[in-house]
Amino acid sequence: MSNIKVRFAPSPTGYLHIGGLRTALYNYLYAKKNGGKFILRIEDTDQSRFVEGAIENLIKALEWSGITYDEGVFIENHEVVEKGPNGPYIQSKRLDTYSKYVDQLIESGDAYYCFCTKERLDNLREEQRVKGQVPKYDGLCRSIPLEEAKARVANGEEHVIRLKLPKNRDIHFKDLVRGDVTINTDDMDDQVLMKSDGFPTYHMAVVVDDHLMEVTHIVRGEEWLPSTPKHVYLYEVLGWEKPEFVHLPTVLNDDRKKLSKRQGDVSVEDFRESGYLPEALVNYLALVGWSPEDNQEIMTLEEMVDKFTFERVSKTGGIFDKKKLDWVNAHYIKEKEDGELLELTLPYLKKAGIVDDAFVANNREWLEILMNTIKEGMSTLKEAPEKSAFLFEDMGEITDENLLEILKGEQVPELIDGIEAEVNAVDELDFETAKGLMKKVQKATGIKGKNLFMPTRIELTGVEHGPELANILYLFGKDKIVERLEQARKYL
C-alpha cells in the first residue's frame, strides 16, 4: 500500500461533463495502479451555482461509469452520505475550517481585508482595459493597518479577504505533464480568498482541503493551470508541503474548441441516454489525451490501470471523435451476451412501441435471437428499434432492377415451392429447425449456393444483404415466411 492519494473534485453544476469523467478516470487509474486512494469531494462554495439534485447526479453518473472511489461522497439508501477519515467531503460543510486558515493568513500578514466596492473594481477594470492592461486588483487596501481593518469589519462593513502576494517573486512548480512552470508574482493577482458572503473561493478551499485530506497528486483539467501558482504560494505561506500537480489536456471538439453543450451531447447522462455503454465511453475517453505504450485501443479498466502513466498523457488538447466512440461502442455491443443486450435495449424498444412487458415475458428467446441478429453493425443501443424494424414493418415494393432480375430467375418458382413445403412440414419453426431449413430445401430441390440464398433473402427482406438467413427465418416464423413468399410470386 502506498500513501498516494488523489481526488476528483467536481462542482455540482447539475451534470457530469465527459471531460470531468475523463479527469475522474485518470485519477482512478493512477490510484489503482499505485495502490493509492481516490477521493470524491464536492466543491460547492459558489452558492450562486447551486443546482438541486446535482450531487446525486454526479455520484450516479460515476457509479454508472464503473469508476469507483474509496472516500468521500456516496449514495446509500437514496441518501447522500460521506465516508472516510478526513471529512466532511462537501465544501459547504467545511466553512469553519476555511475561516480558521484565512484568519491565520490575516494574522501572519499574508492576507488582508479589502473593502473595495464592486463599483470601484468595475471602474478599475474598465480603466485597465482601455489602457490595454491585464485586469488586476491595484492593491489599494493592502496598506490599511490591520487594527483599522478589523474595526471596520467589526462595524459590519462589507469586505472580502485577499491573498497578499509579495512583489516580484518567481513562483515555481513542476507539472508532471506540462513540465516546469515559473510565473512572477507581478503577473499575478491578489486573489480573493474569502468572499463577502463568508464563503471561501475555490482557491482557498482547494488548498486547505487537498492538504487536510492528504492529497499527494492533484490531477485536474488544464483550465486550472493558471491558478496553480496562487495555490503553490498558499501552500508556502501556510507552511504546508505542496503536492504534485498534473494538468490534463482539454477535451476538444473538431474545431479544437472546448466541447460544449451547444454542440449536442456533452454530459455522461447524455451519452448514456444516447445508447453508449459505460465500458465503451470510459475506454474511449481514456484515449482522448492518453495512449498506452503499445497503442492498444480496446482495453478493460484493469488493462488501463496496468498501462497508465502520466508520461504518456499528451500536453495538447485531445479531440473528441464521435466516430471513434461509435466504433468502440459497437465493439462492446457485439461482445455482449444476447440476454444482457436485450436488457440494455429494452428501454429503447419499449419507448419505440416495438415491445411491451407482456410481449417480453412471452417472447424472451425470440428477443434474444433478435439481439443476436442485430448486434452486428449496431453502434448504439438506441439503434435497436430501427435495426429491428424489418420485423415489424411492411417490406414495400421491390423496384431495384438488379433485384427484380434475380427474382425472375428460372429456378425461383421451384425455390418458393420448396421453402413453403419445408416450412409447412414443421409444426413450429424453432431456431434449430430454422438453421437446418435451407439445407433441406437444397436437398429437396437441388438448388444451391447463390441461387438458393440470394432470391430467398430478397423475397423475405427486400434487400440483398443483411443478417444470417437462418435468424431471419426464425424471427419471421412460419406465417410471415409464407406471406412474403406468396407476395414475391408477383415478381416471377
Q: Which of residues 182-211 bind ligand GLU (CB under 6 A)?
A: 206
Q: Tell me the closest approach of the beta carbon of residue 10 to ligand GLU, in angstroms.
A: 5
| CA–CA separation, 90 and 93 (whole Å) | 6
Q: Does 9 bind ligand GLU (CB under 6 A)?
A: yes
Stretch that binds ligand GLU, among 4-12, 27-35, 243-251, 271-279 (CB under 6 A): 4-12
Nearer to ligand GLU among residue 58 and residue 481 (C-beta): 58
11 binds ligand GLU (CB under 6 A): yes
220 binds ligand GLU (CB under 6 A): yes
Q: What angle do CA 101, 106, 109 make, to 5 degrees?
A: 125
Active site residues: 261
CB of residue 65 vs ligand GLU: minimum separation in angstroms?
17
Asked if 43 interacts with ligand GLU (CB under 6 A), we say yes
Q: Min. distance of Cβ 201 from ligand GLU in angstroms?
A: 11
- Distance separating alpha carbons of residues 166 and 340, to the nearest angstrom: 61
The answer to whether 224 contacts ligand GLU (rule: CB under 6 A) is yes
Query: From the CB of 89, what's the least distance to ligand GLU, in Å?
Result: 13
**3-state SS string for the chain:** CCCCEEEECCCCCCCCEHHHHHHHHHHHHHHHHCCCEEEECECCCCHHHCCCCHHHHHHHHHHHHCCCCCEEEEEECCEEEEECCCCCCEHHHCHHHHHHHHHHHHHCCCEEEECCCHHHHHHHHHHHHHCCCCCCCCCHHHHCCHHHHHHHHHCCCCCEEEECCCCCCEEEEEECCCEEEEEEHHHCCCCEEECCCCCECHHHHHHHHHHHCCCCEEEEEHHHHHHHHHHHHHHHHHCCCCCEEEEECCEECCCCCECCHHHCCCEHHHHHHCCCCHHHHHHHHHHCCECCCCCCCCCCHHHHHHHCCHHHECCCCEECCHHHHHHHHHHHHHHCCHHHHHHHHHHHHHHCCCCCHHHHHHCHHHHHHHHHHHCCCCCCHHHHHHHHHHHHCCCCCCCCHHHHHHHCCCCHHHHHHHHHHHHHHCCCCCHHHHHHHHHHHHHHHCCCCHHHHHHHHHHHHCCCCCCCHHHHHHHHHHHHHHHHHHHHHHHC
C-alpha cell, 124? 478599475
CA distance linking residue 441 with residue 418, whole number of Å = 6
What is the closest distance, in whole angstroms, from the C-beta atom of residue 479 to ligand GLU in the complex? 58
Name the minimum Å distance from CB 218 to ligand GLU: 6
> Pick from 150, 183, 152: which is nearest to 166 by CA?
183
Counting every residue, how long is the chain?
492
Residue 221 C-beta: closest distance to ligand GLU, Å = 6
Name the segment binding ligand GLU (CB under 6 A); options: 7-15, 107-115, 192-200, 352-360. 7-15
Q: Which residues bind ligand GLU (CB under 6 A)?
A: 9-11, 43, 206, 220, 224
